[in-house]
Structure 1
Amino acid sequence: MPDVGMVGPLGNAASFQSVPHLTNHETGEWNKNPLENGWNISMMAKAALLLAQVPFLELPILNGFVMLIQRQVLEVIGFMNEEEFPYGYGEENDFAIRCASAGFKVGLAPHVYVWHHKTKSYTSSERQHLLKYSGELLKHKYGTKLREAVKNLRWSSDLLGIRNSFETTLNSSAESLSSSLSILFILNIMGKKSKFMLHGGWISLVQEAVGLCLQGAYSRIAVSEQLIDNFNNAFPVAHKHGIFVGLKAVSYTDLATEITSKGVLYDYYVATHWSTVEAVQRVVKKYPNAISGYYVQDIETGFLTQVRQKIVVSKTYFAAKSGFVFVKTKWLQQQLLQNFNVSAYLISPTLDTKIFFSRTSSWSLRIFSVCAMIRVETARRNPLKTLKILIDLKTQYQGRVIINVFGSAPEDIQRFLFQNNLTYNVSALTVLGILNRNEIADLLRRSDVFLDFSEWQAFGRSGLEAMGCGCVPMLPMHGGTSEYAVHLKNSILIDTRSTTSALLFFHQILTGKVNLTKLRIKAIETAKLFSIEVVSTKTFQLFRKFHEEWRVKRYLNPSLWYKD
């Protein structure tokens, strides 16, 4: 901004540049705005940056407590008038008017806050005398021009908006701004009749949020209000940290409005589903110095059937690329780059080792046990082929094998088979229905092999959870499972285009050709590397580094505010 000649910041006691209040409502004098309980100067400065709509707001005159003056201004109009204002007070107004008259812009940097201790050079009576003297002199020199300047400042809707924003923030953002980093993850809107069914993406997100809290960040997840009790019950540790925030919005336009109306400021607003990207974009349009993020947990275009919807989803990847896009597997990173030319940061996946841990005492004493998740409503999880493999395995080995399935109710599985004109003997399997996380962990500890016969997995959380419980996962070789799974080292990777590969490996295990104990021990060792406590340090460092670089860029290059 080469035409800006003179700029000043917001402050606590800076006349018309003061926040959050202009005057003391009891005395009518300028408000000194002492810091509210729980607030410090750094928090106020952070609020200024996040609340600022523009990098520069043109004003007629400035408070003189802090000013940044371009050298060219001094070369054109000279220095401040020490002859007429030898003791200060008024010289900044005189200088600002001369600066503007010479064609330079004068104004406010609303993203900067500086604390002002007020008068330290003069006593109160001396200050009043100087104010009276300079006021008369300025009135004589500039008359109507000065009166108009003061009038415009007093009734400025821009300055009023800044003060109102600060007042709202002081009532709601103390906790988020006192943290070294603040992040709001935004889940997709769930209808009032939606069933609460946990899936891997949610679990990953909650564990990442908990990990960031453990590192000192203020991390929250926005969820549909009617499901907040379900989330709190499903994730008691996250509930303890106060991670879930309920929202009433039923549309994504309303979602963005509700988030901003709460007045809680965050450094990051992170979409977690393609449908929430637009809401995040709307939020950061209001808060241009906040970071728009997108936690891509799958390539949704891979399982959508309608071309129009695929196009819509593809556009969300492009829309988010100017912010902080991140994934948890190299496979997802490659897919985004190859198919959409979107670069993504890589964070490590996490495992809750307080739930998914192993007990080794019963390995050699039990009948060979297999478990699998059946999700009849998710075609890419290959429910039909998974059931066929398990029934064929039971038919071939009878009492030598125990097979448990979970993830769908027994009646839903029967209905699914009927709809597909199949008569599989599901009674040969033990159908446990929908289990909670602790029940899944108990099942995995009782099992020797966990079968995931999905067409592909962007990550495959259940496979890593199985490892933590000492259960060897049999996983699709296609996708992101290689982030933790190494074939015949700690897992078994199979080609899920044919059921033959899975049955072949089951046969090799049961005939002793695959050393399951060796795989199991390595699986447990691998799982420990992904504990929330271990991984969260690196994730936090990545978020913080990106934030620091982002903030410096915004300060040094205001033109970035207007991009997009």
Structure 2
Amino acid sequence: MARIIFVLPVGGGAGGAHSVVQEVTAMRDMGVEASVLVNGANAEKFRATYDRFDWVREGGLDVFDGPRELAQKAAGAEVLVATTNTSVHSVAEALRQMRGVAPRTGYYVQDYEPLFYEAGTSEHAVAVASFAVLKDCTYFAKTNWLTGVVQAAHGHEARLVVPSIDHAIYRPAPRPVRATRMVTAMVRPATPRRAPRRTLGLLARIAAGEFGPAEVMAFGADAEELAAHGLAASDGMRLAGHLKQTEVAALLREADIFLDLSDYQAFGRTAAESMACGCIALAPALGGAADFIEDGVNGFLADTCDEAAVSRAVRQMLSLSEAELRAVRLAGLETVAAYTPVRAAISELRALGIG
């Protein structure tokens, strides 16, 4: 079977890395020789983040420092897949240093990374150039929004693959009976596109009772991190701080409503994971969440930059009867049940012309 290497120079913990690890696991379970190469600076954190996966502990994870070592460790692979804009450049340089038959290349586009940086910066230029340095590269992504952006901005056809959720962690469970609904949201103060100030502002309004009685819990940052960015939790809002995947899942199983007020979401992983836990989600209308959320049916979508639109959506969510809430919850569970690592892995193998 083919040997596939995913180049993933990150410490893990974010959605893109979760996807790769889950899908590599599924490929290995199907007999594919799939592995991950992590740069040395991130290897220790990566291993700690994903130590629940046997292959991470037992040799399926390899480490490289620089393109020369990447070239050595990728020798003999059939496909070398980049997963971030910087890793594309590392792969391109490694190919230039290889002797003999070089592997085919792929780029698993997890987000449109030029949007991460201010135009005119060197980082922005590197991200834009990442779509031009690999010849005959197979581009693939998990939402129609992402494939459309790659086509429109760079003229590349990007294959649509299936997203994956770790259903061993993100799964429904019996819910506590409460007199009030529980609302949760992730706050990432260091990431402006995730709209931390907007998120905290809405949570403060919910906690103050503007939309009726509700419990409010935020996660993703502690009070000290918020303060370092000039932010603070309001009265009536609880902070869960930084959580592991299993802890996020436990919180989502307890909550009734999850709010993602990001400017956009290339996919909307936490919204999908919340649905897998039986928690109904509000996600940005701009981006990939529209692939799996039908507004008012299995979740909710809103123009997150429009305060009035967001307020209407939250008011509607908090006014759902128990029967209506249950209907949305079941529809959400049904939708994301199809997002298995096995289906995702198969779709990627087919996109890469394997199997």
* TM-score, normalisation: structure 2: 0.91
1:433 is matched with: 241
How many Å separate the matches in 1 of 2:76 and 2:303?
Answer: 47
Report what 1:521 is aligned to.
330
Matched, 1:510 2:318: yes
The residue that corresponds to 1:444 in the other structure is 252
Higher helix share: 1
* Whole-angstrom distance in 2 between the partners of 1:528 and 1:342: 30
Deviation at residue 399 of structure 1 after TM alignment: 8.5
Structure 1 equivalent of residue 94 of structure 2 = 283
Long gaps (5+) in structure 2: none
Structure 1 residue aligned with 2:61: 244
CA pair 459-321 structure 1, distance change in 2 beyond 3 A: farther
1:470-492, CA deviations, whole angstroms, 9 ceiling, x for partnerless residues?
Answer: 01110000001122221111110
Deviation at 1:345, TM superposition (A): 1.4
Match of 1:414 among 210, 215, 227: 227
Contact 1:333 1:346 in 2 (8 A): yes
The reply to whether residue 483 of structure 1 matches residue 315 of structure 2 is no
Secondary structure of 2:209's counterpart equals helix
Of residues 321, 338, 343 in structure 1, which corresponds to 2:152? 338
Q: 1:220 is paired with a residue of what secondary structure?
A: strand
Aligned to 2:21: 206
Secondary structure of the corresponding residue to residue 500 of structure 1? helix
Asked whether the 8 Å contact 1:380–1:456 carries over to 2, the reply is: yes
Match of 1:302 in 2: 115
1:317 lines up with 2:131 in the alignment: yes
Aligned counterparts, 1:179-190, within 5 A: 180-188=1-9
Q: Per-residue CA shift, 1:109-146, capped at 9, x if unaligned?
A: xxxxxxxxxxxxxxxxxxxxxxxxxxxxxxxxxxxxxx
Distance, in Å, in 1 between the alignment partners of 2:256 and 2:164 is 22
Aligned-residue offset at 1:183 = 1.1
Q: Distance in 2 between matches of 1:467 and 1:417?
A: 31
1:45 aligned residue: none
- CA shift digits 1:62-96 (9 cap, x unpaired): xxxxxxxxxxxxxxxxxxxxxxxxxxxxxxxxxxx
Question: How far apart, in 1, do the equivalents of 2:20 and 2:134 lie?
Answer: 18
Q: Residues 474-526 of structure 1, C-alpha deviation per residue, up to 9 Å, x if partnerless?
A: 00000011222211111100111122222222222333379221110111111
Alpha-carbon shift at residue 527 of structure 1 (Å) = 1.6
Equivalent residues, number: 349
CA distance in 2 between counterparts of 1:345 and 1:321 reads 16
Q: Is the 8 A contact 1:215 1:537 kept in 2?
A: no
CA distance in 1, matches of 2:40, 2:90: 17
* Deviation, structure 1 residue 451: 0.4
- 1:425 is displaced (CA, Å) by 5.3
Could you tell me which residue of structure 2 aligns to residue 81 of structure 1?
A: none
CA-based RMSD of the aligned residues comes to 2.3
In structure 1, the residue corresponding to 2:131 is in which secondary structure?
Answer: helix
In the alignment, which of 368, 393, 397 is matched to residue 181 of structure 2?
368
Q: 1:537: how far off?
A: 2.8
SS in 2 for 1:266: coil
Is 1:492 the counterpart of 2:305? The answer is no
Structure 1 stretch 427-436 or stretch 280-289: which is displaced more? 280-289
What's the secondary structure of 2:230's corresponding residue?
helix
Which letter maps to 2:272?
L
Change (3 A) 1:239 1:312: closer
Q: Provide the secondary structure at the position in 2 that maps to 1:523.
A: helix
CA distance in 2, matches of 1:258, 1:331: 35
SS in 2 for 1:185: strand
1:132 matched residue in structure 2: none
The equivalent residue for 1:326 is: 140
Relative distance call for 1:306 and 1:534 in structure 2 (3 A) is: closer
Q: How many angstroms does 1:295 deviate by?
A: 1.1
Q: Is the CA contact (8 Å cut-off) linking 1:457 and 1:479 kept in structure 2?
A: yes
Deviations 1:350-381 (A, max 9, x none): 0100000001x326545301111100000000
Give the conservation status (yes or no) of the 8 Å contact 1:451–1:474: yes
CA distance in 2 between partners of 1:442 and 1:399 (Å): 25
Aligned-pair distance for 1:398?
Answer: 8.9
| Displacement of 1:547 | 4.8
What are the residue-to-residue correspondences of 1:35-114 with 2, within 5 Å? none
Change (3 A) 1:328 1:243: farther
CA distance in 2, matches of 1:533, 1:366: 39
Contact preservation (8 Å) 1:215, 1:536: no
Unaligned runs of 5+ in 1: 1-179, 191-195, 250-254, 419-423, 549-564
Point out the structure with max Rg over C-alpha: 1
Could you list the per-position Cα deviations for residues 369-402 of structure 1 after superposition, in whole angstroms to 9, with x for gaps in the alignment? 1111100000000100000000011112598211
Higher relative contact order (CA 8 A, sep 6+): 2
Q: Give how far 1:268 is off.
A: 1.0
With 460-469 and 233-242 compared, the bigger mean Cα shift is at: 233-242
Q: Distance in 1 between matches of 2:317 and 2:80?
A: 47
Call closer, same or farther: CA 1:484–1:302 in 2, change over 3 Å: same
Shift of 1:208: 1.9
